[in-house]
Chain A
Amino acid sequence: MASSDEKPLPTPASAAAAGAAAAPPGQPTTVASQVLDMGAAAMQSLRPVKQVKQHVCTFALYAHDPKRQVETHHYVARLNQDVLQCAVYDSDAPDARLIGVEYIVSRKVFESLPAEEQKLWHSHAHEIKSGLWACPRVPGMLEKPELDHLAGTLGKFWCTWQVDRGDRLPLGAPALMVSPQADPAATVRPDLVRRRDDRYGFSTEELRAARADVDAPAEEHPGQADYWLRRRKGFAVDVVPHEMKRHAPFP
């Protein structure tokens, strides 16, 4: 059961056609559940979720097959100035599917990681400078200092629901994702970008021009980041049966 499986066995869960997946199978939410949700929300503080303060729209590629590309919606929370964590969705609508998790760290933190770990991470400079990374509705002036900082960061993104292959439910193993880069193998398809731009009414080209003065780090791919670009080997994720660790019975 590999993340690189073309398509899992056809089932009611996976759509026949490639492209954006239909809504998950199931009954519409009942009134009783809605009432419960409202009640719970009134009593529960939901603090970790309230730390999410920013929405970023960008694109990601599958590490084992960069031809497969998805528009992603990152909902970003700060753990500190150098470490961010994002719940990643496939749209910005209330019924968006939670498709994965991305962690973002500053260069300094990245450099403290072992080389093996670094291979799983990708750089952000290109996607920011090229305008692919967008904060919808946030004025350019407000985002500039943030972009200067983010251009130097590195991310690690696990996709747990492969909606681009039409999965109506999350199937299979998580997939490692990588970022768009200048390399032709890592270019986001123009039709994907156009569709995103049309929906938000902005132009990625214009964003690129506006970001000419964003400080991109001199070394775009520090350490082992963007491993696939240099080695032309992506990472696929396999789930393998594993003998249970033996241990003494609990007293």
Chain B
Amino acid sequence: SIGFAYLVKMLFYSYFKTLVGLQVTVELKNDLAITGLLHSVDQYLNIKLENTHVVDEVRYPHMKSVNNCFIRGSVVRYVQLPADGVDIDILHDATRREARGT
């Protein structure tokens, strides 16, 4: 069973699961930005990306030979999504349900 603390975050976990396979850009709290295909996400909103490349490869050569990576949820600042990958209606419904506590 899931602790109460996780219930609030269930919405984002469920939502990210619908985005698996799409191209996203994850910006970290140290300003590093990594682009890749969303492979998977877990309840901590840890993110696994495939076919990754760093957004500014010249400034950040630190991940040159990395094509797949695991990003700890706690260090994510933003997840940039494709504009057409977002179904606003589904998101609104889920948010309303979450707010009602169902």
- Determine if chain A interacts with chain B: no
Give me the interface of B with A, judged by CB distance under 8 Å: none
Give me the interface of A with B, judged by CB distance under 8 Å: none
